[in-house]
Amino acid sequence: MIRNESTLLSLRPTLSLPDNDNTSTIEKFQNATLRPILKMQNDLLVTLVNDAPHFNQIAHHVSTADEYKSEVITFLKQQTTIKNQIIGLVIAHFTMEEYAMYAPHRNELNKRIVQMAGERVALWK
Protein backbone atom coordinates (compact mmCIF):
# COMPACT_ATOMS: atom_id res chain seq x y z
CA MET A 1 0.00 0.00 0.00
CA ILE A 2 1.37 3.40 -0.95
CA ARG A 3 1.03 5.97 1.78
CA ASN A 4 -0.31 9.35 0.86
CA GLU A 5 2.25 11.56 2.58
CA SER A 6 0.24 14.75 2.25
CA THR A 7 -2.62 13.09 4.14
CA LEU A 8 -0.19 11.88 6.78
CA LEU A 9 1.18 15.40 7.24
CA SER A 10 -2.30 16.95 7.32
CA LEU A 11 -3.21 14.87 10.39
CA ARG A 12 -0.59 16.61 12.53
CA PRO A 13 -1.37 19.69 14.58
CA THR A 14 0.41 22.89 13.65
CA LEU A 15 2.70 24.17 16.38
CA SER A 16 4.08 27.68 16.70
CA LEU A 17 7.69 27.05 17.66
CA PRO A 18 10.53 29.51 17.16
CA ASP A 19 13.02 28.68 14.43
CA ASN A 20 16.23 30.58 13.90
CA ASP A 21 19.50 30.19 12.05
CA ASN A 22 21.23 28.79 15.15
CA THR A 23 18.81 25.87 15.44
CA SER A 24 20.50 22.55 14.66
CA THR A 25 19.12 20.13 12.09
CA ILE A 26 18.21 17.71 14.87
CA GLU A 27 16.34 20.38 16.79
CA LYS A 28 14.50 21.52 13.66
CA PHE A 29 13.43 17.91 13.05
CA GLN A 30 12.35 17.61 16.68
CA ASN A 31 10.20 20.74 16.45
CA ALA A 32 8.79 20.18 12.97
CA THR A 33 8.19 16.43 13.17
CA LEU A 34 8.51 14.83 16.60
CA ARG A 35 6.59 17.36 18.67
CA PRO A 36 3.54 17.48 16.35
CA ILE A 37 3.40 13.68 16.18
CA LEU A 38 3.64 13.35 19.97
CA LYS A 39 0.93 15.98 20.41
CA MET A 40 -1.29 14.22 17.86
CA GLN A 41 -0.78 10.88 19.62
CA ASN A 42 -1.02 12.29 23.16
CA ASP A 43 -4.10 10.38 24.34
CA LEU A 44 -2.77 7.06 23.07
CA LEU A 45 0.69 7.80 24.49
CA VAL A 46 -0.68 8.60 27.96
CA THR A 47 -2.91 5.52 27.95
CA LEU A 48 -0.06 3.29 26.75
CA VAL A 49 2.20 4.42 29.58
CA ASN A 50 -0.51 4.40 32.26
CA ASP A 51 -1.35 0.80 31.35
CA ALA A 52 2.29 -0.30 31.72
CA PRO A 53 2.93 -2.68 34.61
CA HIS A 54 4.27 -0.93 37.73
CA PHE A 55 3.81 2.57 36.29
CA ASN A 56 1.28 3.61 38.94
CA GLN A 57 3.82 2.92 41.69
CA ILE A 58 5.81 6.01 40.65
CA ALA A 59 3.38 8.48 42.17
CA HIS A 60 3.60 6.88 45.61
CA HIS A 61 7.19 7.90 46.39
CA VAL A 62 7.59 11.37 44.89
CA SER A 63 6.60 14.68 46.43
CA THR A 64 7.09 17.29 43.68
CA ALA A 65 6.08 17.63 40.04
CA ASP A 66 9.75 17.76 38.99
CA GLU A 67 10.51 14.52 40.85
CA TYR A 68 7.50 12.90 39.22
CA LYS A 69 8.61 13.99 35.75
CA SER A 70 12.11 12.69 36.40
CA GLU A 71 10.75 9.35 37.64
CA VAL A 72 8.44 9.00 34.62
CA ILE A 73 11.33 9.62 32.21
CA THR A 74 13.56 7.18 34.09
CA PHE A 75 10.77 4.59 34.03
CA LEU A 76 10.37 4.96 30.25
CA LYS A 77 14.11 4.67 29.67
CA GLN A 78 14.34 1.49 31.75
CA GLN A 79 11.27 -0.27 30.37
CA THR A 80 12.51 -1.43 26.97
CA THR A 81 9.15 -2.71 25.76
CA ILE A 82 7.25 0.50 26.50
CA LYS A 83 10.14 2.64 25.25
CA ASN A 84 10.15 0.78 21.93
CA GLN A 85 6.36 1.04 21.66
CA ILE A 86 6.57 4.82 22.11
CA ILE A 87 9.32 5.12 19.51
CA GLY A 88 7.29 2.96 17.11
CA LEU A 89 4.20 5.07 17.75
CA VAL A 90 6.15 8.09 16.50
CA ILE A 91 8.05 6.45 13.62
CA ALA A 92 4.82 5.04 12.20
CA HIS A 93 3.79 8.61 11.37
CA PHE A 94 6.96 9.55 9.49
CA THR A 95 7.01 10.29 5.80
CA MET A 96 9.76 8.57 3.80
CA GLU A 97 11.74 11.84 3.80
CA GLU A 98 11.43 12.12 7.56
CA TYR A 99 12.53 8.53 8.02
CA ALA A 100 15.58 9.25 5.85
CA MET A 101 16.44 12.08 8.27
CA TYR A 102 15.72 9.93 11.32
CA ALA A 103 17.75 6.85 10.35
CA PRO A 104 21.29 8.28 10.62
CA HIS A 105 20.37 10.10 13.85
CA ARG A 106 18.34 7.26 15.36
CA ASN A 107 20.06 7.14 18.77
CA GLU A 108 19.85 10.88 19.45
CA LEU A 109 16.28 11.16 18.18
CA ASN A 110 15.11 8.11 20.15
CA LYS A 111 16.44 9.75 23.31
CA ARG A 112 14.55 12.91 22.46
CA ILE A 113 11.35 10.99 21.72
CA VAL A 114 11.47 9.24 25.10
CA GLN A 115 12.32 12.48 26.92
CA MET A 116 9.46 14.41 25.31
CA ALA A 117 7.04 11.51 25.80
CA GLY A 118 7.95 11.38 29.48
CA GLU A 119 7.35 15.10 29.83
CA ARG A 120 3.94 14.74 28.18
CA VAL A 121 2.91 11.83 30.37
CA ALA A 122 4.03 13.65 33.51
CA LEU A 123 1.75 16.58 32.64
CA TRP A 124 -1.29 14.27 32.64
CA LYS A 125 -0.84 13.00 36.19
pLDDT at 21: 73
Continuous H helices in 14-125:
25-29, 35-40, 42-50, 65-78, 80-91, 96-102, 106-123
Low-confidence winner among 7-11, 48-52, 118-122 (lowest mean pLDDT): 7-11
Tell me, yes or no, whether 99 lies in a domain. yes
End-to-end alpha-carbon separation of the chain, Å?
A: 38
Tell me, yes or no, whether 10 lies in a domain. no
Look at 6 and 85; give whichever has higher pLDDT: 85
Is residue 109 scored above 70 in pLDDT? Answer: yes
Q: Taking the C-alpha atoms of 109, 51, 69 and 74 in order, what is their torsion angle to the nearest 10 degrees?
A: -60
User: By residue range, what is the domain housing residue 101?
Assistant: 25-123
Tell me, yes or no, whether 62 lies in a domain. yes
Tell me, yes or no, whether 5 lies in a domain. no
Tell me, yes or no, whether 13 lies in a domain. no
Render pLDDT for 40-51 as a digit per residue (tens, 0 to 9). Answer: 999 999 999 989
| pTM for the model | 0.88
Is residue 2 scored above 70 in pLDDT? Answer: no
